[in-house]
């Protein structure tokens, strides 16, 4: 038992260091450079080295107590900044998935929808050549795998997963997912959890880009640092969102029949049909407003 607890504590410490402490320390280092160098001496490493040496030679910091206090303050500061990045990352992931029903994001959603519809019209044009059709289909799929309806690519990619599952199987993924999760093998759960963590990590990385950007007001190198981080976050976001959506959809493809059997549907060896999916959705929702629900009033 002690060995298990030790291993758990070790894993938590590693995760804490990776998510909070190390990125926070780097941010504090950038803040220090901004404070010492400013815009006029932004790349003067000698000036930075000289200032750090002066701080190190300060007699007030020679005592053990002062050193311990300084280390504690640095660690607390790095963790605090890391926690800010976690909260900001969570906020960013929520913003990515906004439905886009209100101004000003409604205009962005409308713009994406118009582009998606235009690409579909180009693909369906009766006079289009095969090459033009392939190009239009690729353009439409880059925007969204179904007709776009969200202000962001991330929101549309995750929404497309729900729409495709509903059209193919008649299942409401939001209603069915908790039940589906309970019957999944551990390996499948681990894959989905890893993909979800990667998605969250990409949102946190974007949050770090936003945190570095204000430092450019005092130290211009923070601007290119923020741009590099943002570009990396954008690439990781696309990758992780695609992987997560594909895994969710594949999970339904492989386990929908098993779920139907567990919930008492007949023909365990037959292909899963949309009619069964709608029946399972009604059962899962248990809505009193649905006339087909056993709870209908």
53-82 residue pLDDT tens: 887 776 766 777 777 787 788 888 888 898
- Whether residue 92 is found in the same domain as residue 198: yes
Over residues 134-170, the pLDDT tens digits come to 999 999 999 999 999 999 999 999 999 999 999 999 9
- Whether residue 147 is found in the same domain as residue 252: no
Exposure b/e, 125-140, CB count within 10 A at least 16 = b: eeeeeeeeeeebeebb
Tokens representing residue 181 in the block? 């999760």
With tokens 């999916």, the residue in question is 277
Q: So what's the pLDDT on residue 4?
A: 47
- Whether residue 239 is found in the same domain as residue 93: yes
- d(CA 9, CA 11) in angstroms, rounded, equals 5
Mean pLDDT across 205-211: 96
Give the count of domains, the chain.
2
- Whether residue 119 is found in the same domain as residue 176: no
> Is residue 54 in a domain?
no
- d(CA 112, CA 146) in angstroms, rounded, equals 12
Over residues 22-37, the pLDDT tens digits come to 888 899 999 999 999 9
C-beta separation of 146 from 160 below 8 A:
yes
**Least confident range of 103-107, 119-123, 293-297:** 293-297
For residue 291, pLDDT over 90 is answered with: no
Q: How confident is the model at residue 7 (pLDDT cuts 50, 70, 90)?
A: low
- Whether residue 277 is found in the same domain as residue 139: no
Report pTM: 0.86
C-beta separation of 38 from 219 below 8 A:
yes
Segments forming the whole domain that contains residue 117:
99-151
């Amino acid at each position: 038992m002690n060995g298990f607890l030790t291993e758990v504590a070790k894993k938590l410490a590693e995760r804490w260091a990776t998510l909070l402490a190390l990125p926070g320390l780097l941010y504090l280092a950038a803040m220090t450079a901004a404070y010492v160098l400013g815009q006029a001496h932004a790349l003067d490493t000698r000036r930075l080295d000289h200032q750090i040496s002066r701080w190190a030679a300060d007699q007030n910091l020679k005592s053990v107590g002062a050193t311990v206090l300084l280390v504690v303050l640095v660690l607390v500061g790095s963790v605090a900044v890391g926690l800010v990045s976690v909260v900001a990352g969570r906020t960013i992931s929520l913003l990515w998935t906004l439905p886009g029903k209100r101004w000003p994001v409604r205009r962005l959603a409308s713009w994406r929808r118009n582009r998606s519809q235009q690409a579909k019209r180009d693909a369906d044009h009766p006079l289009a050549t095969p090459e033009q059709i392939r190009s239009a289909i690729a353009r439409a799929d880059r925007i969204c795998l179904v007709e776009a309806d969200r202000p962001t690519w991330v929101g549309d990619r995750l929404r497309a997963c729900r729409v495709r599952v509903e059209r193919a199987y008649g299942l409401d993924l939001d209603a069915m997912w908790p039940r589906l999760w309970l019957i999944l093998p551990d390996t499948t759960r681990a894959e989905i959890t890893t993909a979800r963590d990667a998605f969250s990590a990409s949102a946190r990385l974007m949050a770090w880009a936003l945190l570095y950007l204000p430092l450019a007001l005092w130290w211009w190198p923070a601007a290119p640092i923020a741009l590099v981080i943002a570009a990396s976050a954008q690439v990781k976001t696309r990758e992780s969102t695609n992987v997560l959506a594909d895994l969710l959809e594949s999970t339904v493809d492989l386990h929908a029949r098993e779920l139907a059997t567990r919930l008492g549907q007949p023909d365990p060896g037959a292909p899963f049909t949309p009619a069964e999916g709608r029946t399972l959705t009604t059962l899962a929702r248990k809505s009193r407003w649905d006339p087909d629900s056993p709870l209908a009033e």
